[in-house]
Copies of this chain bind each other. A is one copy, B any other.
Amino acid sequence: MIRVLIADDHNVFVEGIESLISGSAEIQVAERCYTVQSVTERLAQTGIDVVLLDISFPQIEDGLGLCEFITRTYPVTKVIALTMHDDASLIKRVVKKGAKGYLLKNTTKTELLQAIQTVYHEKQYFNETIMQILLDDSPKNRRTSSGLGARPNLTPRESEVLNLISQGLTTQQMANQLFVSVKAVEFHRSSLLMKFGVPNTALLIKTAMELHCID
């Protein structure tokens, strides 16, 4: 029997998942948690095999942080991320946080049960759509992109560019100041986005400031 914990503050959702699972003989819902605290408290006990975790979009930091905490603290427990959004960068970040599966909230009963079974048996579950997005990301991973939450290793040039970006300079202005081409600056900016695992400059600045990589 696979014991599942549902972590979602939306009651309708928890009901829905539970309803979908109820037909299965090998899977049972062991716990429903509506808060982060209750999740951590319940996991401190034993007996949870799989966590169905809602990564709610407006509060990304919370969901991702909890995902990371669970996979680090309880490596045996598998996390399946649940979300309404098929945003590419979000999927990548969730996987980096250690999630073994990713499901959209319009998933079917069949897919849900299969995903739980799959991750329980030490495998990853991602459907074709999700896999496509992840595969497109593989060339990027050649570069040193440490997981989110950790400060990436920046080259001297990258640090320089990062600080200039945070001062509000455009790529053209940075190129002038550094006596290099616009293309060179674009390359470093792109490297920064990759290393920090963020989709755009706005989140780059916020993340870099939180990690004290600026000034």
A106 touches B (CB below 8 Å): yes
A184 touches B (CB below 8 Å): no
Q: Mark A163-185, 1 if CB is under 8 A from B, else 0.
A: 00111101001000100000000
Q: Which residues of B contact A12 (CB under 8 A)?
A: 13, 16-17, 20, 82, 105-107, 112
- Secondary structure at the A interface, as helix, strand, loop or mixed, is helix
How many chain-A residues does the 8 Å CB contact rule pick out? 46
Do B168 and A34 touch across chains, with their CB atoms under 8 A apart? no
Q: How far is the CB of A18 from chain B (nearest CB, A)?
A: 7
Q: Mark A1-43, 1 if CB is under 8 A from B, else 0.
A: 0000000011111111111100000000000001000000000
Q: How far is the CB of A3 from chain B (nearest CB, A)?
A: 19
Q: Which residues of B contact A16 (CB under 8 A)?
A: 11-17, 19
Q: How far is the CB of A72 from chain B (nearest CB, A)?
A: 23
A9 to B84, CA, bound (A): 10
Q: Return the contact of A200 from the options B57, B112, B168 (Cβ within 8 A).
A: B168
Beyond A12-B16, A168-B200, A168-B203, 8 extra complex contacts between A and B, CB < 8 Å:
A12-B106, A15-B20, A34-B106, A84-B84, A166-B202, A168-B199, A170-B200, A205-B209
Query: 25 pairs across A/B with beta carbons < 8 Å?
Result: A10-B84, A10-B105, A10-B106, A12-B16, A12-B107, A15-B15, A15-B17, A15-B109, A16-B16, A18-B19, A57-B177, A58-B177, A60-B167, A87-B173, A165-B202, A166-B203, A166-B206, A168-B198, A168-B199, A168-B200, A170-B200, A201-B201, A201-B202, A202-B204, A205-B209
